[in-house]
Amino acid sequence: MVEAVQNLLPHPVSVHHLGMYREKSTMQPVEYYNNLPYHKSGEASTVPPLAIIVDPIIATGSTVCAAIETLKDWGVQRIISISILASQSGLQRAAEAWPEGVELWVGGVDAETDERGMIKPGLGDIGDRLYLTLGK
């Protein structure tokens, strides 16, 4: 999705990665990778005014909320999150948590999630699909 979004932009932009996944038993986000450049709060920095989050699916909303929080803490003023599919409750959670300076763009919305936090009917586990780890 990153390359597709870059192709739509009028000029090249820097790409930084936040690696997050949802822990299966608690359904809480876990950050395993962050390559945002270091800077001290209040210091003149090169933090861009806009960041785009590219996340295939917003199910419970916890992971996108954590990514938004990380970017806001970093100093980003405006955030656009682009997803292929979201649950209604996940979108609502993110919109209520971040009513200012955040736009949520999604291709489709399914009504609910199941007890495992998966979108119903949804697309299954996107990580399994991307990394061919089905059944593990």
Active site (catalytic) residues = 22, 26, 125, 128
Segments in the chain forming alpha helices (H)? 2-8, 62-74, 88-97, 126-131
Give the gyration radius of the chain's Cα atoms: 15
Burial label for 37, CB within 10 Å (0-12, 13-18, 19+), is: exposed
The Cα–Cα gap between 87 and 118 comes to 9
Amino acid at 72: K
Burial label for 119, CB within 10 Å (0-12, 13-18, 19+), is: buried
